[in-house]
C-alpha cells in the first residue's frame, strides 16, 4: 500500500473516530433520556425528532462507506405508519419504538462509539506511533526520556542504544501502517454494515413482497392486454369488418343502383369515423396524450377539471418521473377520483401532488361519508397492485363519517421535463 493511502486512511479514521465517539454517545444519551421521559409525556415529543437524527446519522455513515470503499449498506425500510399519523406524539412514538429498523439504529450507536471508534482510530494510532518511534534515534529520545522513565510501546528507552531499537520497531510499525491502515478503516464500515444491514428474516420478507408485487404486476398486465384485445374485437374491429362488407356491397351497386350505393357509402364513412373515435379512446386508455405531451402535473390538473365534483388541486412537480411511473400514478389518480364520485357522496375533493425526499406523493381527500376499504372492491386494491410494481405504497384513512384521505407514495427521482429518471 502507498504512503498516500495510509495517510489518507489515518486522516479519515481520525475524523470518523471523533465523529463516531461524539455523535453516537450524544445521540444514545439523549435517546435514553427521552425514552425515560415518555411516561411523563415529554418524551413523546422528543423521541420522533431524536430518532430522525439517529436515522440521518446512520445514513451519513452509509454514504461514507459507499464513497470511500464501495461498501454498500442497504437503506433501512422504516415503517411510515398509517396516513394522517401526527409527526410527534404518543401514537408516532409508539410506532417508532416498535419499528425493527429503529431498533437496529439504536443497537448500532453503542457499537459505533466503542468498537467502531477503536477501528477508526487504529490507522492514525499506527501512523503516529511509527513516526514517534522513527524520531527517537534522531535525538527525540533526549527530549522525552532525559531524566525520566520512558517506554516506546513495550521497549524502555533510556539511551541512544535503546532509541535505535525503538527506531527499528518504529519502522516495523510504519510497515504495518502502510499495509493495514486502509483495511482497518474498511473493517470499520464492514462492522457498521453488519449491525445496520437488515437481518435475514427482513430480507426474506422483502423478497417475498417483491415476488408478490411482481406476480400482481404480471397479472395486471395480462388483464390489461385482455381488455385491449376485447375492446378491439368488440369495437373498432367489428366496425372495420362491417365497413369492409359495406364497401363490397357498394362495388356491386355502383352500376345497378347508384342511389343505394351513395347511401351505403355515407354509412361506411360514418362507421370509419366511429371506429377512429373508438381507437382514439382506446389509445387514451393506454397512455393519454396529455400525459405524454404535458407530463403528470398537467395531466392531474386535466383529470381534476373533468371530475364532476369541485376539485382543489395543488401540484408541485419541478420535473418528470419516468413514463411508467407517470402512467401508474395517472391511472391511480383517475381511479381514486372515480371512487369518490361514485361511492363517497362527497361535495368537494382536495388533491395534492408533489415530490420530496425522493418520494412522489399523491393525496386525495374528500368530505364524503367515509368507510372506504381497499378490500371491498372499490378499485383501491387494483391501485395498490399497480403501485406494488414500483415499490409504492397506498395508505387509506377513512373513518365512518369521513373525511377520507387516500395517499400513495412511490420512490422516484425527478428529471427535467424533457427527460426522466427513476
User: In the predicted model, what is the mean pLDDT of residues 392-396?
Assistant: 81
Phi, psi for residue 273 in degrees, rounded to 5: -65, -40
pLDDT-wise least confident of 145-149, 182-186, 329-333: 145-149
Question: 225 and 108: one domain?
Answer: no
394 phi and psi, to 5 degrees?
A: -125, 130
Instruction: Looking at the structure, tell me whether residues 310 and 214 fall in a common domain.
Output: no
pLDDT at site 235: 62
Asked if 184 and 207 sit in the same domain, the reply is: no
The one-character DSSP state at 353 is: E
* Whole-number Å distance between alpha carbons of 361 and 330: 12
- For residue 419, tell me if it sits in a domain: no
Q: 21 and 170, same structural domain?
A: yes
Which of the given ranges, 100-104, 140-144, 184-188, has the highest pLDDT on average? Answer: 184-188
Residue labelled with grid coordinates 477503536? 118
Residue 353 lies in a domain: yes
- Classify the C-alpha dihedral 145-148-153-157 as positive or negative: positive
Pair 250, 368 in one domain = no
Same domain, 71 and 93: yes
- Partnered with residue 100 across adjacent β-strands are none
Residue at 422 is within a domain? no
156 φ/ψ angles, rounded to the nearest 5 degrees: -75, 140
pLDDT (tens digit, 9 = 90+) per residue, 318-355?
A: 888 888 788 888 888 888 888 888 888 889 999 999 88
Residue 22 confidence (pLDDT): 92
Neighbouring-strand partners of residue 408: 362, 394
Query: Both 107 and 254 in a single domain?
Result: no
- Count of domains forming the chain: 3
Beta-sheet pairing, 311-316 with 349-356: parallel
Question: Residue 418: which pLDDT band, with cuts at 50, 70 and 90?
Answer: very low
Domain match, 373 and 336 both:
yes
Q: Which residue has the higher pLDDT, 313 or 4?
A: 313
Torsion, Cα 21 26 27 30, to 10 degrees, reads 160
Which pLDDT belongs to residue 263? 79
| 418 is a domain residue | no
Of the residues 232, 267, 286, the one at which a domain ends: 286
Looking at residue 351, what is its pLDDT? 92
Per the structure block, which three cell numbers stand in for 248?
363490397
Domain identity same for 83 and 216: no
- 363 and 328 housed in the same domain: yes
Reading the block at residue 365, the C-alpha cell is 381527500
Other CB atoms closer than 10 Å to residue 17's CB: what's the count?
23
Percent with pLDDT over 70 in the chain = 76
* Domain harbouring 307, CATH code: 3.30.565.10
Which of 251, 286, 321 corresponds to the end of one domain?
Answer: 286
CA distance 90 to 111: 28
Q: Is residue 157 part of a domain?
A: yes
d(CA 248, CA 13) in angstroms, rounded, equals 85
pLDDT of residue 29: 93
**Interior/surface letters 184-206, b for 16+ CB within 10 angstroms, e for the rest:** bbbbbbebbbebbbbeeebeeee
Distance, in Å, from the CA atom of 59 to the CA atom of 93, rounded to the nearest integer, reads 21
19 with 168, same domain?
yes
In the predicted structure, residue 210 carries a pLDDT above the cut 90: no
| Buried/exposed 353-375: b ≥16 CB within 10 Å, e otherwise | bebeeeebbbbbbbbbbbebebe
Please say which residue of 253, 286, 319 terminates a domain.
286
CA distance linking residue 35 with residue 313, whole number of Å: 40
Q: Is residue 325 part of a domain?
A: yes
Question: What is the mean pLDDT of the segment spanning 96-117?
Answer: 87
Q: Between the CA atoms of 380, 386, 390 and 392, what dihedral angle is there, to the nearest 10 degrees? A: 0
Cβ-contact 355, 412 below 8 angstroms:
yes
Evaluate whether residue 421 is within a structural domain: no
| 368 and 247 share one domain | no
Domain that holds residue 282: 201-286
Q: What is the pLDDT of residue 26?
A: 93
Residue 277 lies in a domain: yes
Amino acid at each position: 500500500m502507498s504512503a498516500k493511502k495510509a495517510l489518507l486512511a489515518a486522516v479519515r479514521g481520525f475524523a470518523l473516530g471523533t465523529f463516531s465517539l461524539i455523535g453516537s454517545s450524544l445521540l444514545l444519551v439523549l435517546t435514553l433520556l427521552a425514552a425515560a421521559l415518555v411516561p411523563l409525556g415529554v418524551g413523546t415529543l422528543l423521541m420522533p425528532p431524536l430518532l430522525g437524527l439517529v436515522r440521518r446519522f446512520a445514513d451519513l455513515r452509509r454514504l461514507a462507506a459507499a464513497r470511500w470503499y464501495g461498501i454498500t449498506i442497504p437503506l433501512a425500510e422504516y415503517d411510515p405508519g398509517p396516513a394522517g399519523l401526527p409527526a410527534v406524539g404518543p401514537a408516532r412514538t409508539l410506532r417508532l419504538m416498535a419499528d425493527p429498523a429503529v431498533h437496529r439504529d439504536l443497537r448500532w450507536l453503542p457499537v459505533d462509539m466503542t468498537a467502531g471508534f477503536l477501528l477508526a482510530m487504529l490507522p492514525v494510532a499506527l501512523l503516529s506511533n511509527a513516526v514517534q518511534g522513527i524520531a527517537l534515534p534522531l535525538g527525540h529520545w533526549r527530549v522525552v526520556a532525559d531524566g525520566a522513565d520512558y517506554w516506546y510501546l513495550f521497549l524502555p528507552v533510556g539511551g541512544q542504544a535503546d532509541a535505535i531499537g525503538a527506531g527499528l520497531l518504529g519502522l516495523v510499525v510504519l510497515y504495518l501502517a502502510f499495509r493495514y491502515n486502509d483495511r482497518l478503516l474498511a473493517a470499520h464500515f464492514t462492522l457498521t454494515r453488519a449491525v445496520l444491514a437488515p437481518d435475514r428474516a427482513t430480507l426474506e420478507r422483502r423478497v417475498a413482497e417483491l415476488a408478490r408485487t411482481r406476480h400482481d404486476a404480471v397479472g395486471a398486465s395480462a388483464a390489461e392486454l385482455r381488455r385491449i384485445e376485447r375492446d378491439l374485437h368488440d369495437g373498432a374491429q367489428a366496425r372495420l369488418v362491417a365497413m369492409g362488407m359495406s364497401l363490397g356491397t357498394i362495388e356491386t351497386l355502383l352500376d345497378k343502383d347508384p342511389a343505394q350505393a351513395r347511401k351505403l357509402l355515407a354509412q361506411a364513412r360514418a362507421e370509419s369515423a366511429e371506429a377512429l373515435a373508438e381507437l382514439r379512446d382506446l389509445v387514451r386508455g393506454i397512455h393519454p396524450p396529455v400525459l405524454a405531451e404535458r407530463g403528470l402535473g398537467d395531466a392531474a390538473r386535466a383529470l381534476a377539471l373533468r371530475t364532476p365534483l369541485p376539485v382543489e388541486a395543488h401540484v408541485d412537480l419541478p420535473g418528470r418521473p419516468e413514463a411508467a411511473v407517470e402512467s401508474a400514478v395517472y391511472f391511480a389518480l383517475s381511479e381514486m377520483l372515480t371512487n369518490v364520485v361514485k361511492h363517497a357522496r362527497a361535495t368537494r375533493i382536495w388533491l395534492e401532488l408533489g415530490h420530496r425526499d425522493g418520494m412522489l406523493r399523491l393525496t386525495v381527500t374528500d368530505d364524503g361519508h367515509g368507510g372506504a376499504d381497499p378490500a371491498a372492491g372499490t378499485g383501491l386494491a387494483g391501485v395498490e397492485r399497480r403501485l406494488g410494481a414500483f415499490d409504492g405504497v397506498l395508505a387509506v384513512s377513512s373513518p365512518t363519517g369521513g373525511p377520507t384521505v387516500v395517499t400513495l407514495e412511490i420512490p422516484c427521482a425527478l428529471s427535467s421535463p424533457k427527460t426522466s429518471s427513476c
